[in-house]
Amino acid sequence: MKIPVFQRVVQVLLSVRVMLFISLMLLCGASIAQGEGLFKAKCATCHAVFKNGTGPKLYEARKRWEDAGEGDLIYEWVRNNAALRASGKSVRALEVFQEYNGSVMSAFGDLTNDQISSILDWVDSQDPNASAGGGNVAQATSSDMSVEEEESIPWIWIVMGIMFSIIIMAVGGVRRELKIATKESDKGSEGLTYIDEFKVWAWKYRLYVGLTTLVLVLSLIVGFFQTLYSVNIVEAYQPSQPIAFPHDVHAGVNGIDCKYCHNSVTKSKSAGLPTVNVCMNCHKKINGEGEEYQGEIAKIYAAAGWDPSRGPSGAYTNQTEPIVWNKVHNLPDHVYFNHSQHVVVGGLDCKQCHGDMAKLNETAKVQPYQELNKIEENIESKIEFDRATMTMGWCIQCHEQSSVNITDGKSGYYTEIHERLKENDYNLLTKYNEDGRVSVSELGGWECSKCHY
Amino acid sequence: MIKKRYIHICFFALISTAMVSSCSSNSDSPGNEYMPDMYRSPAIEAYVDYGEIRGRENTDVKSKVSARQTPKYTIPYYGVNKKEVELMLPNKRKAGMTWRESHGLYGWDLDTESGYENARMDTINPLTMTAQNAKTILKEGKRLYESMCTHCHGEKGDGNGTMIQSGAYGDLGVVPAYKNLDTLSEGKIFYSIYYGKGYMGAHGSLLDKKEIWTLVHYVRQFQRDGYGNFEEKDESDSKTTDSK
């Protein structure tokens, strides 16, 4: 019975609120709508509604001016704040100017009083409680991220193994003590050495001993070959990073292009790690939802020397700290690999080799080849790996399977190769085209000196 | 009875040790390597830690930082074409002192007055767009725009990028649509990208100057219909008025 009553109360309250809202809208709906457009066009670059940014928050800004007894002067301030400050008739203007370390607000001489008040009307009509939910999407999708401490587990097993062997030895010892104590009565075992005794014991339980030995030998052989085959296989490599960076939130939910942060990928051999000022392009404003995220983002602030509590909206302090990321994809010194060749000339998508990072809810890792085979672009270009990622077999496989369009003129590099083949060795070009495609290996992708020199 | 239990324990211990030894994976370790000295050789490779080579610790060269901005006054090699090289020279409009605290430009060459206001006079894009190169510039601009700007400014330049749609910024302002900023001069657009403006951070370390001027051309498309379209009329309306 309680619930319907409660619901009714809520409904009544809601309808009252809706009616109030509608009447408000009828009164000044047109002007508020205009205010929203103007706010987005003119103010939003520096001002937010509820939070101080480059400029102060605009919510109840008019009230603050009115409280200072200068309600009329806010219009002059917006149109030309420098002139207002110079005129000396406003104390509030100088206060605001000083509070923001003398950063100058642009002059908006073309705004009329009506337009300015419509902006302030729209800003004040916003609901401060509704905005608290901002950023929920990012939070909901990534709240299950957790950094697990995997390192300690092998140690637990080792300790347990040692404890087991101690228990076994202790049991054996007790047994031996008992034997010695009952030596007089047990004539059969008198004078036997440990080895003899073990032989007798082993023969008695030959089934168990045989099975155990078999398991031991087999596991040793399997272990030996596993170790051999795991040499230089780095597919499980996921080094811990100084900041738990979730790729799925950045590249997935927020749709940031890989090349924004790893921006040297189109120009250089290495894809590059972003400098911390790239992080700050967004994180100046985004300080995280929940303690876990705030803790991680605070590390960025420490590195960038950003103090969110300094001044009205935070400020850089120049007290910077470096971040050391751990390199995930290592190639030996004798291998040359160039990102820009693959991304710009070859036109590969990042995820064809690195997996779909937009879905990886953890720090970067070397993706197993099975994952790469699921990538759409790889299926489209008929690339199917069966060699472990980051091995030479893996490189070679892709160079053989991927075909190059040398006639579409998109890449000057391949167009040049095509021209030269046509002029100098047309038979060779025909031979390349026999299977209906030109593979990278046919254009020198299997040449030793392309990667080893 | 005791003996039987002894055997069971033995069995259990054996199997458990076998299991442990077969699946002891540590994601922090790259595993066994044929030649570790080749993975971490003395030849310099980006982002590789040289603090330990062949078991020897060398604290002097241990990684203390993994990404840096280019040194001050770095000018990338940009061929021998005089006009192109001039694009790479340091920007004549310097950011104001307040940019140090608001945009972290410590160590940059700054001016006592904000160069932003003076940039209203720079109404000519030094990367001249002609009927011949218009397509190339706009194609390159599109590529840059899509990787550098789309997530905030939106694909159509309406200020509704994926970052805004996902609600990552919460109530913290909105990104203005380019249409509403069409009175800005070329120089001011360049300045905003290079040094940052308002909430936007400095992108001078991500993009070289030619790329920024390319983006200025591309952004103008959102503001002026037919910008960069040389087929209909001979001259693009590159004249700008600046009222701000």
**CATH, residue B189:** 1.10.760.10
Q: Which residues of B touch A253 (CB under 8 A)?
A: 166, 168
Q: Which of B1, B20, B32, B47 would best serve as a mutation to test chain A binding (most A beta carbons within 10 A)? A: B47
Containing B40, the helix (H) or strand (E) segment is: none
Partner residue facing B100 (CB), from A108, A316, A324: A316
Please tell me whether residue A333 adopts helix, strand or coil conformation: coil
Shortest Cα–Cα distance, B164 to chain A (Å): 8
Asked if B150's CB is within 8 angstroms of A257's CB, the reply is yes
Write down the pLDDT at residue A79.
81
Number of domains in chain B: 1
Asked if A330's CB is within 8 angstroms of B48's CB, the reply is yes
Domain that includes residue B123, residue range: 92-223
Say if residue B180's pLDDT is above 70: yes
Residue B197's φ and ψ, nearest 5 degrees, are: -155, 130
How far is residue A132's CA from residue A130's CA, in Å, rounded to a whole number? 5
* Pairing relationship of beta strands B52-53 and B56-57 according to DSSP bridges: antiparallel
Write down the pLDDT at residue B144.
94
Write down the pLDDT at residue A143.
37
Shortest Cα–Cα distance, A427 to chain B (Å): 35
Write down the pLDDT at residue A284.
87
Q: Which residues of A touch B64 (CB under 8 A)?
A: 322, 324
A272: left (phi over 0), alpha (psi -120 to 50) or beta: left
Interface check for A255 against chain B (CB to CB < 8 A): the answer is yes
Residue B34 falls within a domain, yes or no? no
- Which residue in the block uniquely carries the two structure tokens 């913290």? B172
Q: Which of B3, B16, B66 would best serve as a mutation to test chain A binding (most A beta carbons within 10 A)? A: B66
The tokens for A282 are 């967004």
Write down the pLDDT at residue B25.
63
More confident site: B68 or A324? A324
Containing A367, the helix (H) or strand (E) segment is: none
Q: Which residues of A touch B95 (CB under 8 A)?
A: none
Q: Which residues of B touch A330 (CB under 8 A)?
A: 30, 39, 48
Write down the pLDDT at residue A373.
93
Closest by Cα among A300, A285, A243, A301 to B167: A285
Domain residues of chain A, as ranges?
26-128, 174-230, 339-356+364-451
More confident site: A38 or B8? A38
Interface check for B74 against chain A (CB to CB < 8 A): the answer is no
Q: Residues 335 to 374 of A: which have CB under 8 A from any B CB? A: 365
Assessment of whether the complete model's pTM goes beyond 0.90? no
Chain B nearest-CA residue for A110: B243
CB B120 within 8 A of CB B183: no
Asked if B16's CB is within 8 angstroms of A164's CB, the reply is yes
β partners of residue B95: B110
Say if residue B123's pLDDT is above 50: yes
Percentage of chain B with pLDDT > 70? Answer: 78
Q: Which residues of chain A are modeled with pLDDT < 70?
A: 1-31, 101-103, 129-154, 183-191
More confident site: A62 or B14? A62
Burial class of residue A280 (count of CB atoms within 10 Å of its CB; 0-12, 13-18, 19+): buried
Task: Kindly state the average pLDDT of the residues B118-147.
Answer: 90
Q: Count other C-beta atoms under 10 Å from residue A423's C-beta.
A: 9
CB B168 within 8 A of CB A135: yes
How far is residue B215's CA from residue B230's CA, in Å, rounded to a whole number? 18
Candidate CATH numbers 2.40.30.10, 1.10.760.10, 2.30.30.30, 3.40.250.10; the one for domain A26-128: 1.10.760.10
Structure confidence at residue B69 as a pLDDT band (50, 70, 90): low
More confident site: B13 or A334? A334
CB A147 within 8 A of CB B27: no
In terms of C-beta distances under 8 Å and separation of at least 24 residues, what long-range contacts does B74-82 make, across chains too?
Answer: B76/B208, B78/B210
Residue B86 falls within a domain, yes or no? no
Residue B105 falls within a domain, yes or no? yes
Write down the pLDDT at residue A260.
94
The tokens for B149 are 């700007």
Task: Kindly state the average pLDDT of the residues B13-21.
Answer: 60
Say if residue B23's pLDDT is above 60: no
Write down the pLDDT at residue A102.
67
